């Protein structure tokens, strides 16, 4: 249920977005970026490269793909294709969010600017609250939420980097382990649609062996092969209840 | 990887990150441009979601089972046990992701510390 909230002005809405992002969303995403910072350190890269990645690449799965494939020595094409596949979901997410951000008289470039903040956490918060806000407060709320989350994750990227460099090795292991464990649980929690659940299971089963077959192409083949198998199986299997709209 | 050898490591990483960021932003910008004109409940997008989920599930399974980087220093049984503990705590705490993650990472730290001890 969307909570009925109304702010005094667009400025107040932006500040509310700022406040709303502090708390559980920031704790969860912030710790994941601690993990990302430690991953960057483990790959032997400078801290400013980690910050550059969080600043420009903003969407953790794609950032992890880049670091992992960099460590494996993958080609530019493989990295671009893997990030494109990982982040293609941002397109339908942006398409679904935009109607809830539009307000008459807003210059178009502002939509393009705030679209940088479309990533699961801020997107979910905006999808929940924005429909209930007056039109001119929606984009400010999303921008306030996104900017704060993004800034804080830059801080935790650097923090994770220096922690990984300074703490004893066995503690660093825990930091580097945060991301795989976090995404594993997010996926398990999110696996409601049968097609996506199948994609997760088949992907997890095919990923490691295909990596052994080809460290270069294993990840791309896993995505296309396991994803298409899951999609096809879902079409062929008798449907109990058909999944509706989603992102 | 002929390109990688021609460049210094940080410059190569910067290049990969820049391309990754451009690809990422491309989807968002296209989303703004196409908003209101396409149906996101179509089968094409369901397939796109399946590919993304499969790719990430494959990557995560590989990061846990066959890691490169610091995680390779942890023993395989420890990594697998820590992942199982994370799942167990997640389900025992009514699907609390934060507690599951903390338990999994904590378990790996403790097991690695224990191995260093004995």
B81-103 pLDDT per residue, tens: 999 999 999 999 999 988 999 99
Establish if A126 touches chain B: CB-CB under 8 angstroms: no
Mean pLDDT by 10 residues, chain A (247 residues): 73 93 86 94 96 96 94 94 94 92 93 94 89 93 95 96 91 92 88 88 96 93 96 88 47
Is B32 a domain residue? yes
Compute the distance between CA of residue A174 and CA of residue A178 in angstroms, rounded to an integer: 6
Establish if A217 touches chain B: CB-CB under 8 angstroms: no
Half-sphere exposure (Cβ direction) of A136: Cα atoms closer than 13 Å: 8
Is B82 a domain residue? no
What's the distance, CA A156 to chain centroid? 16
CA distance B17 to chain A (A): 6
Establish if A80 touches chain B: CB-CB under 8 angstroms: yes
Of B47, B49, B63, the CB nearest to A180: B63
Nearest CA in chain A to B42: A245
Give the pLDDT of residue A3: 53
As a whole number of Å, the CA-based R_g of chain A is 19
Give the pLDDT of residue B6: 66
Is B57 a domain residue? no
Domain that holds residue B30: 1-38
Is B34 a domain residue? yes
Q: Which of residues 158-177 of A touch B (CB under 8 A)?
A: 164, 169-177
Chain B residues close to A46, C-beta within 8 Å:
10
Question: In chain A, where are the structural domains located?
Answer: 10-176, 191-247
Q: Which residues, at least 6 apart from A106, have a Cβ–Cβ distance to it below 8 Å? A: A139
Is B75 a domain residue? no
How many A-B residue pairs are in contact by the CB < 8 A criterion? 316
Question: What total of structural domains would you count in chain B?
Answer: 1
Of A49, A91, A230, the CB nearest to B27: A91
């Amino acid at each position: 249920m969307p909570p009925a909230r109304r702010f005094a002005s667009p400025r107040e809405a932006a500040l509310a977005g700022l406040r709303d992002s502090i708390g559980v969303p920031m704790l969860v995403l912030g710790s994941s970026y601690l993990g990302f910072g430690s991953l960057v350190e483990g790959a032997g890269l400078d801290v400013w490269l980690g910050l550059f990645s969080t600043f420009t690449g903003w969407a953790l799965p794609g950032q992890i793909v880049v670091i992992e494939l960099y460590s494996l020595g993958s080609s530019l094409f493989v990295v671009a294709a893997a990030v494109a596949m990982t982040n293609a979901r941002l397109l339908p997410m942006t398409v679904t969010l935009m109607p809830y951000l539009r307000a008459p008289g807003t210059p178009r470039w502002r939509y393009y600017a705030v679209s940088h903040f479309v990533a699961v956490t801020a997107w979910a918060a905006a999808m929940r609250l924005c429909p209930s806000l007056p039109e001119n407060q929606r984009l400010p709320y999303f921008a306030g939420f996104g900017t704060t989350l993004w800034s804080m994750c830059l801080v935790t990227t650097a923090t994770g980097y220096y922690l990984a460099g300074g703490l004893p090795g066995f503690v660093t292991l825990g930091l580097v382990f945060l991301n795989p464990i976090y995404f594993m649980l997010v996926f398990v929690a999110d696996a409601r649609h049968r097609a996506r659940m199948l994609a997760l299971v088949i992907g997890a089963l095919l990923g490691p062996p295909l990596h052994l077959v080809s460290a270069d192409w294993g990840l791309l083949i896993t995505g296309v092969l396991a994803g298409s198998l899951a999609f096809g199986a879902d079409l062929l299997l008798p449907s109990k209840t058909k999944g509706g709209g989603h992102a | 990887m002929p390109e990688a050898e021609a460049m210094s490591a940080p410059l190569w990483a910067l290049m990969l990150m820049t391309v990754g960021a451009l690809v990422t932003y491309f989807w968002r910008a296209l989303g703004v441009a196409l908003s209101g004109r396409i149906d996101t409940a179509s089968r094409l997008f369901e397939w796109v979601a399946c590919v993304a989920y499969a790719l990430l599930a494959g990557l995560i399974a590989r990061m846990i089972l066959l890691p490169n980087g610091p995680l390779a220093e942890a023993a395989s049984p420890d990594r697998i046990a820590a992942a199982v503990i994370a799942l167990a705590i997640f389900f025992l705490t009514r699907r609390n992701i934060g507690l599951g993650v903390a338990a999994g990472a904590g378990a790996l730290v403790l097991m690695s510390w224990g191995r260093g001890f004995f």
